[in-house]
Amino acid sequence: MTVGVGDAFLKMLATTSDRIRDMYQTLRPLMFKFDSEKIHNLSMKTMAKNPIVLRKLFKGLTQEQLRPAESKNLKWKHSIGLAAGFDKDAKALDFLDHLGFGCIEVGTVTLEPQIGNPTPRIWRMPEQNSLRNAMGFPSGGSESILPRVKRYKGQASLGVNIGKNKDTPLENAVDEYFELYNIFADYCDYIVINVSSPNTADLRKLQEISWLKDLLEPFKNIPNRKPLYLKISPDESIDSVISIVELAKESNLSGIIATNTSSQHEYDKGGLSGEPIYDLSKSVWSKVLEYCDDDFDLIAVGGFSKKEQFEEYFDLGGKFVQIYTSFIYQGPEILNLD
């Protein structure tokens, strides 16, 4: 049975009280009968319209439970952030901040509004603790998202993940990414260039060094530039990863986010996330970690779901990590590593 990312909201209900847990158990079979994306959208609307009420229901991390993380480029109140894709249009920032995330990364934001790929386009596989999506950057567009980003005053760092519109030719992508950077740079803590989603045709070609060099060139020497990251695929060879990282450093980027979802699976379409891609993602982020220094960060993402996985990453020198699918399955308790 396919279910959607919206059940993360229902999972949060299950962590607050017996009454709420009973509600979750009662509602879940009914909710799972509906389209997964509609359930997610309903949850997002609830989070957006009732953040104060929800704060009373859902206990966020206390000061003593926070694990601050800091580098030259970033300062997070907690070492675990929420990856892009959950709050695509920055609608639930106040409530998500309350839970204790170190960062909330919105997006992927496109310059112009677009509806993304045809539905259905989200599939959940509980037996694997995984999620598959073929969303294709559905976005309200930069003009509608910007006011919500401007209003955000929370403690979690705010990242904006940007991507090209589906119909924008690759040769025009550099102008579009640069325009998006300029729109959001003054109103967030960092920006992410997304060239690694498997759900927009030909987008991953922009990871090829010949394309990527031209894409990053305009960002090299921006005065007082906002911290800028490149999100890469888990499906690249290690040699390709090394080339991308070296180019990122030459281009004065602040770091790499590794990784996006994987297209290496047996299903017909979409990017796979969650536990099945942890080892694949780790093979990439562990290599990137070798190149990190005071000026160059790694934000690791991809399949993190167990305390020992987070601890291993921190023991290897990692500071920043993001989650998505494990938040869907485990709810906000995933943030408490004690």
Q: Is 198 helix (H, G, I), strand (E, B) or coil?
A: coil
The rounded distance, in Å, linking the Cα atoms of 260 and 262 is 7
Q: Quick check: is 197 catalytic? A: yes
Cβ count within 10 A of residue 279 = 11
For the stretch 127-146, what's the b/e string if a residue is b when 16 or more beta carbons lie within 10 angstroms of its beta carbon?
eebbbbbbbbbbbbebeebb
Q: Please confirm whether the linkage preceding 120 is cis (ω < 30° from 0).
A: yes
The token duo for 63 is 């000061």
- Residues contacting residue 41 through CB under 8 Å, at least 6 positions apart: 6
Please state whether beta strands 130-133 and 122-125 pair in parallel, antiparallel, or not at all (unpaired). antiparallel
- Cα dihedral 85→88→91→97 (10° resolution): 40
Catalytic hit among 79, 197, 262, 305? 197
The rounded distance, in Å, linking the Cα atoms of 105 and 220 is 23
The rounded distance, in Å, linking the Cα atoms of 185 and 227 is 9
Query: 330 exposed, middle or buried (CB, 10 Å; 0-12, 13-18, 19+)?
Result: middle
Cβ atoms of 247 and 212 closer than 8 Å: yes
Q: Please confirm whether the linkage preceding 16 is cis (ω < 30° from 0).
A: no
Tokens 């396919």 locate to 2
The rounded distance, in Å, linking the Cα atoms of 124 and 31 is 13
Q: Is 312 helix (H, G, I), strand (E, B) or coil?
A: helix
Query: 154 exposed, middle or buried (CB, 10 Å; 0-12, 13-18, 19+)?
Result: middle
Give the catalytic positions in this structure.
Answer: 197
